[in-house]
Structure 1
Amino acid sequence: MAHQDTELVNWSEFSRTRGELGAAFPRILGYFREDGVKSIIAVEEAFRARSAADLIRPAHTLKGESAQFGAYRLSVMAEEIEMVARRCVETRESPDELIEVVVAMRACFSETMALLDRDANPLAARRPGGFGRRVETPVQGFGRAI
């Protein structure tokens, strides 16, 4: 499958979006999380109902939002679901071939959000030693530069 070969997160895209959104970034990332969960639930429900037409909108939404945050693997998976669902609507087929992608999408979303949250957390960039801990420095001796 093509999505397995796609990078989980494109950090350049993530950084670009973070820079463009500035102080609004944490709030918008939260919206992405909420919308992503809703989209995944909608995709899973539509798949269970074998409704190709009902797969299209949540997959399309997830595709675009994921790409915006650099979540490329998730975006590729959503795009595959959307494209196959569109074809199935046109040919009046069941979207059964999507089972592996639909099942893998929730785990991919969770893994992606864990990485995005870790990188977006302002506390993640801590100084060595952390708050309240003394950082051990090597003994330099008087007048010596390291």
Structure 2
Amino acid sequence: MEDGSDIIDWVHFEKSRGELGPGFIRILSYFREDGEKSLSAIELAMHQQNTVALVIPAHTLKGEARQFGAEPLAAVAEKIEQTARFCIETHRFPDELVPDVVELRRLWNRTIEFFDKATNPLQSRPGSPGGFGRKVANQGFGRI
């Protein structure tokens, strides 16, 4: 969807913003940094066929995504984590996760895009009219 509501629960996002107060932007930047590291670690683990190396970054990404209302991202990360845990027990590599890792990257990129729009004052927020540089109808300023 255009406003990102299929990727982000904006009510949850705003609730987190309110609860975290002035530290929200800093914590969101940690999510961005840690999430990118987790995603890169997942992609590397898949490339190296290292099942054990999938678990912790998927678990971390899942929890952090849920904190900000990015449930689809969290759900895919959870699937990767749970499948990897099962495959460790059964001593096999989860080749079936390749499409999920691709989807995780797509969701990550879209999530960050919408988070940027929601927190950057120079970009229009999802669902809000206007934005920086938008033409405003003349309301008669300076007229008698």
Counterpart code for 1:81: I
Counterpart code for 2:138: E
Q: Structure 2: how far apart are the matches of 1:88 and 1:42?
A: 18
2:138 alignment partner, one of 136, 140, 143: 136
Preserved contact between residue 51 and residue 95 of structure 1 (Cα < 8 Å): no
Alignment of 1:1-146 (within 5 A): 7-124=6-123, 130=132, 135-137=137-139
Please state how far the C-alpha of 1:12 moved relative to its aligned partner: 1.1
Q: Structure 1: how far apart are the matches of 2:131 and 2:36?
A: 36
Q: Structure 1: how far apart are the matches of 2:60 and 2:131?
A: 42
Larger Rg belongs to: 1
Deviations 1:6-53 (A, max 9, x none): 931011110111001111111111100000100000000111111111
Structure 1 unaligned regions, length at least 5: 1-5
Q: Structure 2: how far apart are the matches of 1:40 and 1:68?
A: 17
Deviations 1:71-112 (A, max 9, x none): 111100100000000000000111101000011211210110
Structure-2 change in CA distance of 1:27 and 1:92 (3 Å): same
Q: C-alpha root-mean-square deviation of aligned residues, in Å?
A: 2.7
TM-score after normalising by structure 2: 0.83
Q: Structure 1: how far apart are the matches of 2:25 and 2:131?
A: 26
SS state of the match for residue 99, structure 1?
Answer: helix
Q: Structure 1: how far apart are the matches of 2:98 and 2:65?
A: 20
Please state how far the C-alpha of 1:119 moved relative to its aligned partner: 0.8
Please state how far the C-alpha of 1:122 moved relative to its aligned partner: 3.3
Structure-2 change in CA distance of 1:109 and 1:51 (3 Å): same
Structure 2 unaligned regions, length at least 5: none
Percent identity reads 44
Matched residue pairs, number?
135
